[in-house]
Chain A
Amino acid sequence: MTVTDLVPYEDALATYDPVMGLEVHVELGTHTKMFCGCATTLGAEPNSQTCPTCLGLPGSLPVVNATGVESAIKIGLALNCTIAEWCRFARKNYFYPDMPKNFQTSQYDEPIAFDGYLDVQLEDGEVFRVQIERAHMEEDTGKSTHIGGATGRIHGAQHSLLDYNRAGIPLIEIVTKPIEGAGERAPEVAKAYVAELRELIKALGVSEARMEMGQMRCDVNLSLRPLGTEKFGTRSETKNVNSLRSVERAARYEIQRHAAVLSSGGTIIQETRHFHEDDGSTTSGRVKEEAEDYRYFPEPDLVPVAPAREWVEELRATLPELPRVRRNRLREEWGVSALDMQSILNAGAVDLIVATTDAGADAASARKWWMGELARRANEDGVELGALPITAEQVARVAALVAEGSLNDKLARQAIEGVLAGEGDPDAVVEKRGLKVVSDEGALGTAVDEAIAANAAIADKIRGGKVAAAGALVGAVMKATRGQADAARVRELILEKLGVEG
């Protein structure tokens, strides 16, 4: 790999204005493929989910998956797009062994959804509007495994093995208009856009949009133009950038690379580039001898799609609250800062907290448990927060026990630990582990008396007005009761017995 000289990011931005275009492919979570009834189950054995249609056998024909169309319309509506009254599928013709028909059934000049926008919020709360060019329906390709080269790479491979289980799985391709005016925040905007889109897709329930599983894939197109000019520069197309962090890094790298080429008097060639996760760089794709000519034409085997307006409106009515709007609403309801909200989001805790409040907990304690104890545990165990073996209802029950004074925080942590260890519901754990707060005034009074007697010097200080010293006596009582006392009540009793105002 040749080392590319890069211009420092700030220097690049001092001279050039980046323009981006983002193309995102989302694999829909339908039960069947876009044009045939084959299942889409992940991890099935090779070529076990194929039929004449998705293998492109002679004589086979496609039939459109209604849920695929419905999902496309939902995505289009959520992206504030116009939904076509009438549109067609088109064939995109090019040869590639992972594509059984050697054309991709896609849409060309008549996408099902067009002219929309998505507002994305940057980490500091600033909202940036990304204009959407189009969202169209198409199909995925099969999967090739390259044999004989180094670590499964295509170069140097002797031959390849093809599994067509993925061929024909519905894809929605979402293309932005050129994103201008983001300036130095362009990489951040790119990342925020893809993140927002992912949240949106998940909220719509049309795909799990797991980037690490290839359910959502992003191409980053980027060009630079001298500051203050209008005309777009030549763009590079960085393909398959498949994590949020990579989207940001790829955009940043390309800005620096383009700037280096341009400021040394070179020209950018329009080409595809590959992103490398390891060092965040991009390298040139294969140089094609001739420009691609996809020879698009209307797919004669499929009839036009003309979604009835009533259907479109029905779907519009089912749209969930947009993730950004919902986040802002929750942020206000919970009374947290934008930064805190961001970390809640990053931790994947939003829905868990909502579910916990839905189960009766107040927002503050729900947030406290999920972002505190549970986030720590998830981190330790290296799992997603949602994957911990505890439900929102169980967390809400713990919070309720604390609120009613049956548990203090320390005991509550033990209760949660018990639930995570599989000892049952919070109540069962409390019962088995004997985690009740000592609230018997008599027993507590005795413990306080004993503590005062054993720490006469401290008691004197308190009597003398050093109220802060009460902490030591509280600690002694808590120790004596093995933590099962309500610390606030203990403090009250101590001050009461020593005749001091709290």
Chain B
Amino acid sequence: MADLIKLTAAEIAAKIAAGEVTAVEVTEAHLARIEAVDEKVHAFLHVDREGALAQARAIDDKRARGEKLGPLAGVPLALKDIFTTQDMPTTVGSKILEGWMAPYDATLTKKLKDADVVILGKTNMDEFAMGSSTENSAYGPTGNPWDLTKIPGGSGGGSSAALASFQAPLAIGTDTGGSIRQPAAVTGTVGVKPTYGGVSRYGMVAFSSSLDQGGPCARTVLDAALLHEAIAGHDPLDSTSIDAPVPAVVEAARNGSVDGMRVGVVKQFRGEGYQAGVLQRFDESVALLTELGAEIVELDCPSFDLALAAYYLIAPSECSSNLARFDAMRYGLRVGDDGTKSAEEVTALTREAGFGPEVKRRIMLGTYALSSGYYDAYYGSAQKVRTLITRDFERAFEQVDVIISPTTPTTAFPIGERTDDPMAMYLADVCTIPANLAGNAAMSLPCGLAPEDGLPVGLQIIAPALADDRLYKVGAAVESALTEKWGHPLIEEAPAL
């Protein structure tokens, strides 16, 4: 049964539906894999062995009764620990929520359960999704399965590592500035940030409300599409949710093609700080797209140069407000309540003890940016930059169907290398942030290994808002051409653990 963990989600679902394997067998195989390797990888914060098996048994019973199974029925999934779950703790990678049991399921959690997806457990992440390396988790870092001394990306490093180490064929991430795509890039997996509003945020612990977006993570483009379809759609509980049909992503993933497409290459997405091997693989991808019939268009998006700065004002500002609720009054950690201290003191002591340094740094940065006297210069200007970036995208999408870029300027860096240099850490998201600011859909998929370090390089595809299907159409074409070229999926080159 060892092979089961190497299957794609689509293959697993087909085998279960055909009765070739049971959901319980699939779940057990993945639980065994977790047992075997997660001590080294540390992708999971919580594994719900009993719950997963019970769910799998229910799916097998359903099949036995002759009921129709959904396209992902019985497929195991690793859920980022930022979505609330009634039957598992939700910690958001923070001490302040250690052991917290939410009294409600996130809309995404419900949708996964409704789709008969088997939730194996909750994955590690940078605390409150703030980070690009998963080193900011209060529960210790996650290793990159390609090289355990390297970061698996962040904030969704647990999810990407779970995929790359075959602990789950599907995972859920959230992407505020690149937290799905950057981990996908550095682990040789596929990650998609849907159009803002495409996937409900209800029950997803907020970091930066106007940027946060949940999305699918997988090892193949088709698997990502199947998961995308399962979790997307309008939710009346999320006011910012799009009330329109979900783009036909699965169909697009099954019909990959770039023939006749106009593909944009933005000149701002290269230059200083980009690793040579990353640019090499990216340039090869551009050439490949031309070969496959795409027309390449050079684009100038000058305001993208301000994206990182705008992001590091907007996200901290919103987070300073979103995280104010962690005050030791209603849930979570409470420190210093010795009967003599005031509520105010207990709140301050709890937040001091419960938040890690990156969270504190961003809360203070956001508090500063929103303060009277600074608002216009910082938050106000950042919102203007956001408009300019959106306009640059609009102009670009008049000329092209999709934009491509490296997902990250470098491959996975060593754990510990950037922890004391926030600005260096923030640069990891320089290519992914513009799509968050404008609300566009974007994908990262593997496009090779960097020659200098043998680590995966990600190719980013950006589509206009509501045109998520284009990501899959292009992604599937690139994926199949590359797989053919390599003779196998890139992930098979990942070292055994």
Chains A and B touch each other in the complex, with CB atoms below 8 Å apart: yes
Tell me whether A61 is interfacial, beta carbon within 8 Å.
yes
A63-B237, A63-B239, A95-B324 given; A297·B317 CB < 8 A: yes
Question: Which residues on the B side are within 8 Å of A63 (C-beta)?
Answer: 236-239
Taking CB atoms, residues of chain B closer than 8 Å to A55 are: 330
Question: Which of A176-184, A261-269, A299-307, A389-397 is the contact stretch?
Answer: A299-307
* CA distance in complex: A61, B104 (Å): 13
Stretch at the interface among A66-74, A96-104, A234-242, A481-489: A96-104
Interface size on B, residues (CB 8 A): 45
Q: Is the CB of B237 within 8 A of A61?
A: yes
Q: Would you call B166 an interface residue if the criterion is a C-beta within 8 Å of the partner chain's C-beta atoms?
A: no
A93 x B321 contact (CB < 8 A):
yes
The answer to the question of A57 belonging to the interface, with a C-beta cut-off of 8 Å to chain B, is: yes
Q: Mark B190-210, 1 if CB is under 8 A from A, else 0.
A: 000000000001111110111
CB-CB under 8 A for A59 and B321, given A64-B239, A301-B240, A303-B240: no
Contact A61 B239 (CB under 8 A): yes
Tell whether, in the assembled complex, residue B327 and residue A102 are in contact, meaning their CB atoms are under 8 Å apart: yes
Q: Given contacts A58-B84, A59-B102, is CB(A93)–CB(B324) below 8 Å? A: yes
Q: Are A162 and B239 in contact (CB under 8 A)?
A: no
Consensus secondary structure, chain B interface: loop
Which residue from B90, B102, B237, B318 sits with its C-beta under 8 Å from A300? B318
- Any chain A CB within 8 A of the CB of B312? no
Residue of chain A at shortest CB distance from B328: A97
Contact A293 B371, beta carbon cutoff 8 Å: yes
Asked if A102 meets B83 with Cβ closer than 8 Å, knowing A56-B330, A59-B102, the reply is: no
A58 touches B240 (CB 8 A): no
Question: In the complex, A347→B65 CA distance in Å?
Answer: 72
CB <8 Å contact, A58 and B324: no
Could you tell me the distance between the alpha carbons of A50 and B329 in the complex, rounded to whole angstroms? 15
Which residues, 210 to 230 on B, are CB-close (under 8 Å) to A? Answer: 210
Contacts of A297 in B (CB 8 A): 317-318, 321, 370, 375, 379
> A57-B102, A63-B236 are contacts. A293–B329 as well, Cβ < 8 Å?
no
A60 at the interface (CB under 8 A from B): yes
Q: Give the residues from 157 to 172 in chain A that come closer than 8 angstroms, CB to CB, to chain B.
A: 158, 160, 162
A134 at the interface (CB under 8 A from B): no
How distant is B142 from chain A, measured CB to nearest CB, in Å? 22
Complex Cα–Cα for A297 and B202 (A): 21
Verify if A231 is at the interface (C-beta below 8 Å from B): no
> Which residues of A are found within 8 Å of B331, using beta-carbon distances?
57-58
Does any Cβ of B come within 8 Å of A125's Cβ?
Answer: no
Are B327 and A95 in contact (CB-based, < 8 A)?
yes
**Is the pair A300, B210 in contact by a Cβ cutoff of 8 Å?**
yes
Closest beta carbon of chain B to A89's beta carbon, Å: 10
Contact B205 A58 (CB under 8 A): yes
Task: For the complex, give the distance between the alpha carbons of A293 and B329 in Å.
Answer: 22
A103 touches B209 (CB 8 A): no
Residues in chain A near residue B321, CB distance under 8 A: 91, 93, 103, 295, 297
Which single residue of chain A is at the shortest CB-CB distance from B200? A61
Find out whether the CB atom of B240 lies under 8 angstroms from the CB atom of A59: no
For B106, list chain A residues within 8 Å (CB): 59
What is the chain A residue whose CB lies nearest that of B368?
A: A295
Q: A58-B205, A297-B317 are in contact. Are A95 and B347 (CB under 8 A)?
A: yes
* A59:B339 contact, CB within 8 angstroms: no
Q: Which A residues are CB-close (under 8 A) to B97?
A: 58
A101 CA to B320 CA in the complex, in Å?
Answer: 11
Residues of A close to B232: CB separation below 8 A: none
Check B325–A58 contact: CB distance below 8 A: yes
Q: Does residue A422 face the partner (Cβ distance < 8 Å to B)? A: no
Contact with A along B163-205 (1 / 0, CB 8 A): 0000000000000000000000000000000000000011111
Asked if residues A303 and B239 are in contact (CB atoms below 8 Å), the reply is: yes
The yes or no answer to B273 lying at the interface (CB within 8 A) is no
B295 to chain A, nearest CB (A): 37
Q: Check B56 for interface membership: any CB of A closer than 8 A.
A: no
CB distance from A466 to the nearest CB of B (A): 85
Chain A contacts for B325, CB-based, 8 A: 56, 58, 100-102
Cα separation A302 to B238 with both chains bound (whole Å): 8
With beta carbons under 8 angstroms apart, the residue of A59, A295, A300 that contacts B205 is: A59
Task: Mark contacts of B232-266 with chain A using CB atoms, 8 A cut-off: 1 yes-contact digit, 0 otherwise.
Answer: 00001111100000000000000000000000000
Hey, which bits of chain A sit against chain B, CB under 8 A? 52, 55-64, 91, 93, 95, 97, 100-103, 158, 160, 162, 293, 295-297, 300-303
- Chain B residues at the A interface, C-beta cutoff of 8 Å: 83-84, 90, 92, 97, 100, 102-104, 106, 201-206, 208-210, 236-240, 317-318, 320-321, 324-327, 329-331, 339, 343-344, 347, 367, 370-372, 375, 379
Can you spell out 24 A-B residue pairs with CB atoms less than 8 angstroms apart? A52-B102, A52-B203, A56-B325, A57-B84, A58-B92, A59-B90, A59-B201, A59-B203, A59-B205, A61-B237, A61-B238, A61-B239, A101-B324, A101-B325, A102-B324, A160-B343, A162-B330, A293-B372, A297-B318, A297-B370, A300-B208, A301-B239, A303-B239, A303-B240
Interchain residue pairs A-B with the least CB separation, the first 7: A102-B324, A295-B370, A300-B209, A300-B210, A59-B203, A58-B205, A56-B325
